[in-house]
Amino acid sequence: MNENWLYLTLFALVGWLVINAVRFVIILLHELGHALPALYFTRGPVTVYIGSYGEDEGPKIRLGHLTIRIKPRLSYLRAGGMCKHEAVPSAWQNIVIIVAGPVITFLIALLLFPFVLYDGLHGSLKIVIVLFFFAALISLVHSLYPRKLEYNAELYSDGQLIANVLKLKTANKYLFKAAAFFEHDQFRETLAELDKIDKRYLNEYIASLYIQCYVELKQFGKLTEFKEKYMNAGLMASLTSYNAINLSFANIQLKEYPEALALLNKAIDLDDESYYAYNNRGFVHNLLGNYASAKADLDKACKLDPNAAYSVTNRAYANIKLGLMDEALVDINRSMELNEHNAYIYLVQGMYQLETGRPGEALANFEKAKNMEATTVLVDDYIALAKSKLLQP
């Protein structure tokens, strides 16, 4: 009886390993199917991700312009992949790149399938070929069914990408040029091309490009105007965590802190492991005077990224306001070690010195912060406060 259980366990283990291996090969061939025409059309770098949607984790293989990044996983059954490449200028090139992934994988499976009828092939290999064929067929159908892949990401199935290209055919010549400019951090040029697109074609991807460009260019007034004019309920509901954070920057710059807080709450609901969402929400809580809430968020941010100077600085601010001066000093020193070129740390160091009765030193730090970054939050208020302290007898 025990021996039978042992055989069953070994059989199940081997079966699971074979199915996993088949799934891994399907993902690899699918993404290479996208990569080959992308390499031909762009003549530039192409990165294939296996087991993730663009995470730079795991071993990396370089073959000329092609990079393959494999994220180690216990199981690849529910994993996916991604192919990143420079934008191509035409609709048909985009469609070829998109279709090639699932179709090439299925064609390979179709070519292998006749070997099942060959008497000289071992039965176990026939089983693997049959598994591979049906896995490729399922992958083909699954890939070409139009849908969004993940709720918190601008990731779509190949079918949805094709539908998007066809739907936007009159806007594509501008959108593809905009995407190419964006790939090279040419944000003004990106906006110039986006502005040529009729706003009736506005979708999540186009809105995302607008949002990111306005943030990169620090055009927060224009971002707010774009949001109020074009971001309807559907687009707001479809915001990713990343873009909710980006939109909150405009509210912060315009001192619309409750609105920023609402967006950051949404960002954390969508991704509760986002360092930026916790750091920025902690920052906003500080500005609203919610120092205990700020400290809780910033503790989480520091845990998510212990080497990020901004969250340590923000936590120092909260600690000062909570009267935890020893903890504040530790954070200030740590932040200086991480990034002494951050203007905000000099503001916070000045706050600490002001609280500990050294207004002269505080003023020097406030002025240094202003010289480094004129828009440093609250810097003018603290300069005035330090000067008034110095005038007191």
Within this chain, do residues 10 and 159 fall inside the same structural domain, yes or no?
yes
For the stretch 163-169, contacts whose Cβ atoms lie closer than 8 Å and that sit 24 or more positions apart, written own/partner, are 164/203, 164/205, 165/91, 165/94, 165/95, 165/98, 166/91, 166/95, 167/201, 168/201, 168/203, 169/91
Within this chain, do residues 160 and 207 fall inside the same structural domain, yes or no?
no
Q: Which of 179, 212, 238 is the last residue of a domain?
A: 238
Within this chain, do residues 126 and 185 fall inside the same structural domain, yes or no?
no
Quote the pLDDT of residue 2: 64
Quote the pLDDT of residue 9: 80
Within this chain, do residues 156 and 172 fall inside the same structural domain, yes or no?
no
Q: Which of 165, 196, 221 is the last residue of a domain?
A: 165
Quote the pLDDT of residue 337: 94
Within this chain, do residues 25 and 138 fall inside the same structural domain, yes or no?
yes
- Flag whether 280 is in a domain: no
DSSP string, 242-291: HHHHHHHHHHHHTT-HHHHHHHHHHHHHH-TT-HHHHHHHHHHHHHHT-H
- Flag whether 78 is in a domain: yes
Quote the pLDDT of residue 151: 47
Tokens 């600690």 appear where?
Answer: 319
57: which residues sit within 8 A by CB, 6+ positions away? 69, 71, 72
Domain of 160?
2-165
The domain total for the chain is: 2
- Flag whether 303 is in a domain: no
Within this chain, do residues 33 and 147 fall inside the same structural domain, yes or no?
yes
Within this chain, do residues 27 and 152 fall inside the same structural domain, yes or no?
yes
Within this chain, do residues 179 and 155 fall inside the same structural domain, yes or no?
no
Burial of 86 per CB tally in 10 Å (0-12, 13-18, 19+): middle
In this structure, what DSSP letter does residue 339 have?
-
- Flag whether 322 is in a domain: no
- Flag whether 137 is in a domain: yes
Tokens 């040529």 appear where?
Answer: 196
For the stretch 125-134, contacts whose Cβ atoms lie closer than 8 Å and that sit 24 or more positions apart, written own/partner, are 127/18, 128/18, 128/22, 131/18, 131/19, 131/22, 132/22, 132/25, 132/26, 133/109
Q: Do residues 283 and 314 touch, judged by C-beta distance below 8 A?
A: yes
**C-alpha of 158 from chain center:** 20
Quote the pLDDT of residue 375: 82
What is the reported pTM? 0.66
Within this chain, do residues 185 and 118 fall inside the same structural domain, yes or no?
no
Q: Tens of pLDDT along the chain (393 residues)?
A: 566 777 778 878 888 898 999 999 999 999 999 999 999 988 888 999 999 888 878 899 999 889 999 999 989 988 889 998 877 767 788 899 999 999 999 999 999 999 988 888 888 899 999 999 999 999 999 999 988 876 445 678 899 888 888 877 767 778 888 888 998 899 999 999 999 988 888 887 888 899 999 999 989 989 999 999 998 888 887 788 888 999 998 898 888 999 999 999 999 988 888 899 999 999 999 999 999 999 999 999 999 999 999 999 999 999 999 999 999 999 999 999 999 898 999 999 999 999 999 999 999 999 999 999 988 888 999 999 999 988 876
CA dihedral 224, 249, 218, 243 (to 10 degrees): -80
Both tokens assigned to 331: 């954070």
CB count in 10 Å sphere of residue 350: 26
- Flag whether 184 is in a domain: yes
Q: Which of 122, 145, 165 is the last residue of a domain?
A: 165
Quote the pLDDT of residue 152: 46
- Flag whether 315 is in a domain: no
Q: What is the spatial distance between Cα 104 and Cα 82, in angstroms, rounded to a whole number? A: 16
- Flag whether 106 is in a domain: yes
Within this chain, do residues 10 and 106 fall inside the same structural domain, yes or no?
yes
